[in-house]
Amino acid sequence: MKNTGKGLNIGQGKGLGRGGGRGRNNGGGFGTGGFCVCAKCGEKIPHQQGVKCTTQKCPTCGHTMIREELLKK
């Protein structure tokens, strides 16, 4: 396609193609339910929807909790 200086210029689609990734956890959250687990002592508490496990402290030893699915990896 030759640009003659008149009309609309139409791009050739030669972008870098960035993006389109699936983000954390392959694009999916862990969903509702599940447990928060203490990596130090193993204490388990039910996961509360909308509350990250990492913001909670273990009721037994005070260590930071982690989502059970992440501990299994």
Mean pLDDT of 8-17: 66
Q: How far is CA 38 from the centre of its chain?
A: 20
pLDDT at 32: 72
Tell me the pTM: 0.57
Domain total of the chain: 1
Domain containing residue 54: 33-71
pLDDT at 63: 96
pLDDT at 71: 78
Query: Pick the residue with more confidence: 15 or 48?
Result: 48
Confidence label for 45 from pLDDT (cuts 50, 70 and 90)? very high
Cα first-last separation, the chain: 52
Mean pLDDT of 1-9: 62
Inter-CA distances, 50 with 4, 11, 17, 45, 66, Å:
57, 43, 33, 15, 14
Residue 25: inside a domain: no
Written as six digits, the tokens of 64 are 């930071």
Residue 9: inside a domain: no
Residue 16: inside a domain: no
